[in-house]
């Protein structure tokens, strides 16, 4: 522990020098002493001082906690070894174990590692007691252990499952806000007070190692292209479209979020950086039970989010329903100053583009279904899902053209409407059959339909010296998507290993129609140069096999997946746009695996690797031309090729407290967002910029991740994560580009469980300057959240009050580079919100149902909503 503390302190020293801090000042000495009160004062200090100090305080809090563990009381020469198992003698890794002294004070606390046992060495002579807690199990305390007359103690502790039924009471096990498991990180939104009333995107944005770029793209530990699933099915959304969809899902509907960096062969190979699986709530209890959640929030505007979860199980059937809605107003302020330069790199013109928009959002999401237990070996399921998302946005922009001396040449006032209407409906049929005690087969059939409509109306008034001109344009986009998937998975437990194998087929059909018009002589005329009808059909077939085995201190898994893709696209022409069609077929192998070695009860070393693919989202292939403003447009690129990634990682885990990961990723045919000049622009200065995507080159990422999690006290649990990345992006746009950046992301979560049902939370993150894509950088950003909760109604209800983004530092600011211009930008929105929420739980004790999550896992993530 001392070594870890010293290394982190050296890191702090580096950042002090980089930020021109004086490392001998009082603040550094204060936070590196054994003074745990620093955690309580740091939020007030952060709020009252500069944003730079916010970063210093969060990092100092992280260092303090490490030092608290590192410089604990020096032990003597006695030892205790314990093993934690359930009634069937299965080990229970992840259990929390506390060592109490004769005064019943906690002197040590550990998390049980994968082998199921731990050992405390060099204890002082005295009497001790062990207390064990685990999710879903009753708390256990051991008899007093005498280490006065004995030098060692060894025992096995059995945990009993919580299975008592109380009349009209739901027994709830307390989850950790963040859980670090061997193969994934799990976020439990309901365990965090500050998630009350938030949406799924809010939860993701503050998850450790997650970054969301200006266009809504999700980046995990510095790596782009993450595959996002909802209950095992891809959302088929990307960028701003995915962002819009996830903001419509209330956090109270989400059971947990899995961050999986190296998915096994049974998962779809899509997602170069890994998988984010958002699991929605589905009650699985006998009798009638459920929960109700309501929240109100106030930022710049009022907003609300609510959800209802119901379950009824009787005999051989289990009915369930999950419904959530979100409504309110959002605002966004964007300011850019595009600086054009001539061939001699001298300023030639300035384009100032302030933009204000106000959106009215209404979202509804529904999941309803039934499980039928045909026999002890066979379970059948039927699930319906639906979603409605409406956003009506009004915007105003006052664009100014200026000469190098900032003298205004002309003003373009634009008033616009941009509305999106998103409908999603799906049905899943699933079955599970247990062939024998060692074998089972799972089958899923999914059909999903999307209807995505967008409408744009803009009126532009051009004012120059002595003249004024009004122009009007409007357009509509209509997208129809149909997805059909079928998959079968088989597993067999041999004596020494587990074999898994499966097949999957996915058929995706899209029909996209764009129609644009311009105003002329008090009438609307078709704009054929921007209108088109784009058809895209795709089929993906896959097969996989994997083996998982454990022997002694070794645990290994290896798998191989093959995917074959064929697609054809057809852009229907008109009098201006040329008709074109193309098709392609390609196949590839995707090996995955890891090997883990348990050095002793405290240390584990793991090496893992995997190859992945990222296919372009459907909407990024569509050559729609969407108006952002008079001089900026967005369009798709039907010629984007898939990108491939190799991921490698070496991980060391110490007592489930510290985890250090060294990683490397190499991405080929990297498709980046790119900004190009409109070659068809009639403007002689060629100052119309088109935002699109294309394959530009390669992407390398060298990463170091350090995670720390432990209960400092029985009532205080700390989780801290630092992610350091060095990126190298090489590519060609209008000329060869190379971008290099080193960035740091620090996240911190403190959970305080106080007496009489009170709880408190302090959480936040800070990220240094980062490279988002080849042509875009972001300045530092962060977030500080506070929350308090109170159990009421005999622990059946919970009240939560939270403040998100207290320092108003969660924004996007940075700069983009173009062929003949440079553009600083800043985007702010309604991020500082005070929310009050109420949760009521009713029903009886849970009995889990092993429910299928469906098979349309890779497909649903690649749909756009026309946002």
Beta-ladder partners of 408: 402
Distance CA 120, CA 73 (A): 13
Task: Please state the rounded mean pLDDT for residues 238-255.
Answer: 72
270: which DSSP letter?
B
C-alpha 511/C-alpha 554 separation (Å) is 51
| Contact residues for 578 (Cβ-Cβ < 8 A; gap 6+) | none
Q: For residue 31, what pLDDT band results from cuts at 50, 70 and 90?
A: very low
**Secondary structure (DSSP) of 364-414:** EEEEEEEEEE-SSSEEEEEEEEEEEEEEEEEEEEEEEEE-TT--EEEEEEE
Torsion of CA 260, 264, 268, 274, to 10 degrees: 30
State the pLDDT confidence band at 7, using cuts at 50, 70 and 90: very low
Express each pLDDT in 346-356 by its tens digit: 878 888 989 99
Assign domain 78-158 to a CATH class.
mainly beta
The pLDDT tens digits for 695-739 are 888 999 999 999 888 878 878 888 899 999 999 998 888 888 888
Distance CA 390, CA 419 (A): 8
Residue 280 is encoded by which pair of tokens? 């929605």
Q: Which of 18-32, 197-211, 238-252 has the highest mean pLDDT?
A: 197-211
Q: Among 334-343, 480-489, 674-683, 788-797, which stretch is predicted with the lowest mean pLDDT?
A: 674-683
For range 221-232, the mean pLDDT? 76
Beta strand ranges found along 768-796 (DSSP E) = 770-773, 776-778, 781-792
Closest by Cα among 485, 503, 488 to 448: 485
DSSP state of 24: T
Per residue in 58-98, pLDDT (tens digit) is 444 444 444 444 433 334 578 888 888 877 666 776 678 88
| Mean pLDDT value across the chain | 79
Angle separating helix axes 51-70 and 38-48, nearest 10 degrees: 170
pLDDT interval class at 850 (50, 70, 90): very low
Higher pLDDT, 680 or 497: 497
b/e sequence 67-95, b meaning 16+ C-beta within 10 Å: bbbbeeeeeeebbbebbbbeeeeebbbbb
Burial class (CB in 10 A: 0-12, 13-18, 19+), 439: middle
**Is the Cβ–Cβ distance between 802 and 786 less than 8 Å?**
yes
pLDDT in tens, 753-776: 888 889 899 999 999 988 877 888
Q: How far apart are alpha carbons 271 and 861 in whole angstroms?
A: 10
Query: How many residues in the chain?
Result: 867
* Closest-CA residue to 294 (of 849, 799, 842, 850): 799
Task: Return the CATH fold of 178-862.
Answer: Maltoporin; Chain A (2.40.170)
Instruction: Reply yes or no on whether the pLDDT at 114 is more than 90.
Output: no
pLDDT: is 162 or 252 the higher one? 252
Q: How many CB atoms lie within 10 A of CB 21?
A: 17
What is the secondary structure of 163-187 as a DSSP string? ---BTTB---PPPPSEEEETTEEEE
């Amino acid at each position: 522990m001392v070594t870890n503390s010293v290394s982190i302190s050296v890191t702090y020293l580096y950042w002090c020098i980089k930020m021109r801090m004086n490392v001998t000042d009082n603040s550094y000495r204060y936070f590196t002493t054994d003074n745990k009160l620093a955690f309580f004062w740091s939020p007030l200090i952060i709020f009252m001082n500069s944003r730079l100090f916010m970063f210093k305080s969060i990092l100092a809090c992280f260092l303090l906690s490490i030092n608290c563990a590192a410089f604990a009381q020096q032990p003597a020469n006695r030892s205790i070894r314990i093993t934690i198992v359930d009634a069937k003698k299965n080990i229970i890794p992840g259990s929390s174990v506390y060592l109490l002294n004769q005064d019943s004070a906690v002197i040590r606390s550990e998390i049980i590692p994968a082998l199921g046992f731990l050992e405390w060495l060099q204890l002082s002579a005295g009497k001790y007691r062990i207390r064990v807690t685990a999710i879903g199990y009753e708390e256990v305390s051991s008899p007093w252990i005498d280490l006065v007359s004995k030098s060692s103690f060894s025992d096995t502790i059995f945990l009993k499952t919580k299975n008592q039924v109380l009349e009209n009471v739901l027994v709830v096990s307390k989850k950790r806000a963040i859980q670090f498991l061997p193969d994934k990180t799990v976020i439990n939104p309901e365990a965090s007070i500050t998630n009350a009333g938030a949406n799924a995107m809010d939860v993701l944005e503050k998850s450790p190692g997650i970054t969301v770029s200006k266009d809504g793209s999700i980046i995990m530990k510095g790596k782009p292209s993450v595959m996002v699933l909802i209950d095992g099915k891809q959302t088929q959304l990307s960028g701003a479209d995915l962002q819009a969809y996830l903001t419509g899902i209330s956090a109270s509907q989400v059971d947990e979020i899995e961050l999986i960096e190296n998915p096994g062969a049974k998962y779809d190979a899509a997602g170069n950086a890994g998988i984010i699986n958002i699991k929605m709530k589905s009650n699985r209890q006998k009798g009638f039970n459920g929960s109700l959640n309501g929240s109100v929030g106030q930022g710049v505007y009022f907003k609300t989010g609510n959800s209802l979860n119901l379950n009824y199980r009787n005999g051989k059937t289990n009915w369930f329903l999950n419904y959530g809605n979100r409504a309110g107003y959002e605002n966004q302020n964007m300011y850019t100053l595009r600086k054009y330069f001539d061939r001699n790199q001298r300023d030639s013109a300035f384009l100032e583009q302030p933009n204000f928009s106000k959106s009215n959002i209404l979202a509804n999401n529904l999941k309803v279904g039934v499980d039928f237990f045909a026999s002890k070996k066979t379970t059948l399921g039927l699930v319906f899902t639906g979603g409605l998302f409406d956003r009506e946005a009004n915007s105003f922009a006052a664009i100014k053209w200026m000469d190098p001396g900032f003298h205004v040449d002309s003003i373009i006032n634009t008033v616009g409407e941009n509305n999106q209407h998103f409908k999603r409906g799906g049905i899943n049929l699933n079955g599970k059959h247990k062939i024998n005690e060692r074998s089972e087969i799972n089958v899923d059939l999914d059909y999903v339909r999307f209807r995505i409509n967008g409408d744009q109306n803009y009126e532009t008034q051009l004012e120059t010296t002595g003249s004024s001109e009004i122009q009007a344009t409007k357009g509509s986009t209509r997208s129809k998507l149909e997805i059909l998937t079928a998959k079968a998975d088989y597993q067999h437990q041999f004596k020494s290993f587990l074999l898994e194998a499966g097949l999957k087929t996915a058929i995706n059909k899209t029909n996209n129609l764009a129609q644009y018009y311009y105003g002329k002589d008090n009438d609307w005329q078709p704009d054929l140069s921007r209108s088109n009808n784009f058809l895209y059909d795709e089929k993906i077939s896959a097969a996989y096999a994997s083996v998982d085995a454990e022997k002694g201190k070794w645990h290994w898994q290896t798998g191989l997946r093959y995917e074959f893709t064929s697609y054809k696209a057809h852009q229907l022409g008109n009098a201006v746009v040329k008709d074109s069609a193309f098709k392609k077929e390609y196949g590839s192998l995707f090996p995955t695996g890891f090997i883990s070695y348990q050095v002793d009860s405290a240390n584990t070393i793991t090496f893992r690797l995997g190859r992945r693919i990222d296919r372009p989202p459907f909407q990024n292939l569509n050559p729609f031309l969407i108006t952002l403003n008079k001089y900026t447009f967005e369009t798709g690129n039907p010629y984007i090729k898939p990108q491939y990634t190799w991921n490698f990682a070496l991980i060391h885990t110490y007592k489930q407290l510290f985890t250090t990961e060294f990683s490397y990723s190499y991405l080929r045919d990297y498709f980046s967002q790119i900004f190009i000049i409109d070659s068809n622009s009639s403007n002689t200065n060629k100052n119309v910029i088109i935002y699109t995507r294309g394959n530009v080159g390669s992407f390398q990422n060298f990463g170091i991740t350090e995670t720390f999690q432990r209960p400092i006290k029985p009532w205080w649990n700390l989780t801290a994560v630092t992610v350091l990345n060095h990126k190298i992006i090489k590519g060609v746009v209008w000329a060869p580009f190379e971008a290099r950046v080193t960035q740091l992301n620090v996240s911190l979560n403190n959970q305080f469980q106080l007496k009489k049902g009170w709880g408190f939370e302090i959480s936040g993150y800070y990220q240094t300057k980062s490279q988002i894509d080849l042509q875009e950088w972001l300045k530092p950003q962060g977030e500080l959240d506070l929350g308090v909760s109170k159990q009421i109604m005999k622990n059946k209800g919970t009240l939560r009050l939270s403040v998100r983004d207290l320092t108003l530092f969660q924004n996007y600011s940075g700069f983009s580079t173009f062929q003949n211009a440079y553009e600083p930008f800043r985007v702010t929105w309604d991020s500082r919100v005070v929310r009050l929420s109420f949760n009521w739980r009713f029903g009886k004790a849970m009995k889990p149902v092993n429910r299928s999550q469906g098979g349309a896992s890779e497909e649903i993530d690649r749909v756009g909503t026309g946002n």
